[in-house]
A = this chain, B = another copy of it.
């Protein structure tokens, strides 16, 4: 570009840049990055399995911007009728149990069978700095390059309710985009298992053999939720120990009351690293799904989960509204002090605070 006008202002000629992308790619990116694709466009693209639009829709779901959320809600309601042919599997286990390796092996087995697999996560403690689960995608380096797999790290956030809601909404979008198997990973410590359990059809607990007393140290609630326990790293010299652990877990599971589904939780061994037992785990899950669909429990559970999420969202929001009320914030600390010094009862305190809102 040459400046033609004679003027006190003078600008040097720029150096022309080499083309870094093909015209075609540039055009595609431009279209995709257009500020506001319509809801129609989003839905249309998601339904044909466009991963870029799927990702962008999930970003809208995860956004705290009100306009984004409104758009996300519109997209979600439009995608909802396409979500019923999926299987949702929750996978948990403490750090070190080999969750990523297992999910990679399991996911690759599924894609080899013609399935389309989405891997999502719920980890309320994760953040950019702390590194979320699945954030380090190199941990699943083969699955991540598989065109029939879609991997998305945990949404950030400190409130489990918020994080779980976003993951749950992302499930809907993934299913509308044609992913028929959704794996939800959770970190195996804290309350996130309960949240994940209430959004999946099948809940799998990964364990190691012989990590001290087999019963002690396991959160009982998590065992109670499990539809299956898979003892991972059952290879080489470990096989014998893994088999002993299997017997112990099976015995422990028998102590729990029967599940509403009528399913007796299974214990299996596997070695994700060596691709051993992966197919068997999948067969077992499909057997469960078939039984649950036949008995009607599958649909009943999804309905119950929807209602659970309706009520828990309402209750969470009611609390947030209340405790975020500036008048409540002002008085709450004083009421707690009065409680501690026996100047008031919890019920009188509550009444005074409720009268403020």
Contacts and interface: CB of A to CB of B under 8 A. Distances in A.
B315 A319 contact: yes
Interface string A319-357: 100100000000000011001101111111111011000
A22 interface: no
A347 B344 CA distance: 38
Contacts of A310: 335-336, 339, 346, 349-350
Given A307-B336, A340-B306, A317 B255 contact: no
B315 A315 contact: yes
Contacts of A84: 342
Contact of A350 (B217, B257, B313): B313
16 contacts: A73-B345, A73-B348, A76-B348, A77-B343, A77-B344, A80-B344, A81-B342, A168-B346, A169-B347, A216-B257, A220-B220, A306-B346, A307-B339, A310-B335, A314-B350, A314-B354
Contacts of A172: 345
A286 interface: no
Contacts of A77: 343-345, 348
Contacts of A169: 345, 347
Interface residues of A, number: 48
- Copies per assembly: 2
A83 B341 CA distance: 12
A345 B314 contact: no
A317 to B, nearest CB: 5
A81, A84, A335, A342 interface centre (most CB from chain B within 10 Å): A342
A353 B80 contact: no
Nearest to A70: B351
A215 interface: yes
B346 A255 contact: no
Nearest to A353: B314
A165 interface: yes
B255 A347 contact: no
Given A303-B340, A318-B319, A347 B73 contact: yes
Nearest to A349: B310
B318 A73 contact: no
A309 interface: yes
Given A169-B345, A347-B73, A255 B322 contact: no
Contacts of A307: 336, 339, 346
A60 B322 CA distance: 29
A73 B84 CA distance: 53
Contact of A309 (B216, B220, B347): B347
